[in-house]
Amino acid sequence: MSDERPRHDDDGAADELLRRALLDASDAAAVSLAIGDLPVSEVVTVVFHGRRDLGTIQTYVARGRHGAGTTISARELLRVPCDLDLGDAGDREEAQELYLEQAMALREALVGADTVLDVWRGPLGELAGGDVAIERSLELRVPLPAHRLLPVALVAPERQLVVAPVCGARALSQGRPPLGIACAQQDLARIYPLPDDPERCIGEFLELAAVHARELAEQLAHQEASVARFLELSGEDPTLH
């Protein structure tokens, strides 16, 4: 597992990086942290972007390795609502400590989530049937019930089932963000804790999906019957009193 330190666009020293990017010495700055050897995502780059007018240091994740001087378009950036918070730093040294602590907490979250997603790949193929595809698009075909953590997901095409790592919105100063694995179809979604057994979770979700499909079919049949009865009444031209 690579463990690269954050790098600034101008390849300056660490002190200069922190002075410019994290202590508002410029109007806007970005710091990148590349994470490699991931079993599913392979390589991602975390980008911390701070601007005076936003008042926050926002977090983004992009596929691939993006080093110093690399331009990343907005279409390549996944917004992850786990932002840096250096407001409690009394000086530059404390800011550096907080920054490294929070950046490493996010790194551990990304590595852990990607590793768990890889564990889900085998059971998903066995229980959902057919091959499992890896979707690397920032836009998925189904909505998720929480924020995405990584620009990657597993897809079981036969079931139209998407499995993706998700997270709750939390400042990194509060520690590692809450994580989970989301299972989602077009109109059904569940989030399971990261340590849960994949086979149990997938089996439960498929059962829920089957129940949901039956309930939806019954609802549609009921609605069709209601419309049919209404048309029968309309044909008789009933009078309301």
Q: pLDDT tens digits for 140-190?
A: 989 999 999 999 999 999 899 999 999 999 999 999 999 999 999 988 999
Q: How far apart, in whole angstroms, are the C-alpha atoms of residue 146 and residue 148?
A: 6
Query: What pLDDT band is residue 220 in, cutting at 50, 70 and 90?
Result: confident
Q: What is the pLDDT of residue 4?
A: 44
* Residue of higher predicted confidence among 28 and 39: 39
pLDDT grade for 18, boundaries at 50, 70 and 90? very low
The DSSP secondary-structure symbol of 52 reads T
% of the chain with per-residue pLDDT over 70 = 82
Residue 80's DSSP bridge partners are 59
Residue 88 has pLDDT above 90, yes or no: yes
pLDDT computed for residue 35 by the predictor:
96
CA-to-CA distance for 179 and 3, rounded, in angstroms? 21
Highest mean pLDDT among 22-31, 111-120, 125-134: 111-120
Q: Please determine, for residue 94, whether its predicted confidence score (pLDDT) is greater than 90.
A: yes
pLDDT-derived band at 40, boundaries 50, 70, 90:
very high
**27 pLDDT band (50/70/90 cuts)?**
low
The DSSP symbol for 25 reads: S
Per-residue model confidence as pLDDT tens digits over 47-74: 998 877 777 899 999 999 987 677 788 8
